[in-house]
Structure 1
Amino acid sequence: MLRYSLMRLGVFAGCLVVVWGAVYSGIFPRGFGDSNFLWVLLLALVLSAPISWVVLRRERDRASVQIVNKVDRMKANLESNRSQEDPADDSTRTHSQAS
């Protein structure tokens, strides 16, 4: 998951550099007044999203499989803990009701 996040950040940084160069060279319009930096960030974000959707598909699928495996392991551990607690709880309740 960390690898995917770093790759996504790299795609965004690359788009930021390209957009910054395009805005300051006059290819893309500049923002109004002091909002130029925000304009460059927003445009880079909008451009990087579809690029990373296509380019990082394989890495995203790999991260998704890792997350699903981790969730499945956690569910299995939770279920095994529940099954261990039930007999002990039942025997405690049986002994306390008999007294």
Structure 2
Amino acid sequence: MSLKPSATFRYTALRLGIFAGCFLVMWGLVYFGVVPSGANDSNFFWVLLLALVVSAPLSLVLLRKQRDEMSEQIVGKVDQVKERLEANRTQEDGV
């Protein structure tokens, strides 16, 4: 039995990694004044927002293969559940 992580877990972990990397980069850019800081004490939320805005398109482009694998895995599981439901329905109708 292999301990291969599911496609959903792998995609989520990679997405969080991209976000964390973007957060650190944005924090550094704000710290060194390359990007303007937030108003008053909102600096953390400003960096958080910048990281979200930057990481979303990066994830969309960089994780295309993992997203496709994850969707195939989810579709397979949904099809299995539908087959079981249909089998139960026909079994109940037959009795």
Question: Does the TM-score normalized on the shorter chain lie above 0.5?
Answer: yes
String of CA shifts for 1:50-93, please: whole Å, max 9, x gaps: 001000000000000000000000000000000000122xxxxx
String of CA shifts for 1:14-43, please: whole Å, max 9, x gaps: 000000000000000000011110000000
The structure 2 residue matched to 1:35, chosen from 36, 42, 45, is 42
| CA RMSD after TM alignment | 0.4
User: In the alignment, what sits opposite 1:6?
Assistant: 13
User: In the alignment, what sits opposite 1:20?
Assistant: 27
Report SS of the residue matched to 2:42.
Answer: helix
Gaps of 5+ in 1: 89-99
| More helix by percentage | 1
Question: Identity across aligned pairs (percent)?
Answer: 60
What TM-score does the superposition give when structure 2 sets the normalisation length?
0.91
CA distance in 1, matches of 2:74, 2:61: 20
Report how many residues are paired: 88
Structure 1 segments (4+ residues) deviating >2 Å: none
Report SS of the residue matched to 2:60.
Answer: helix
CA distance in 1, matches of 2:94, 2:22: 58
Gaps of 5+ in 2: 1-7
User: In the alignment, what sits opposite 1:62?
Assistant: 69
Which one has more relative contact order, counting CA pairs under 8 Å at least 6 apart? 2
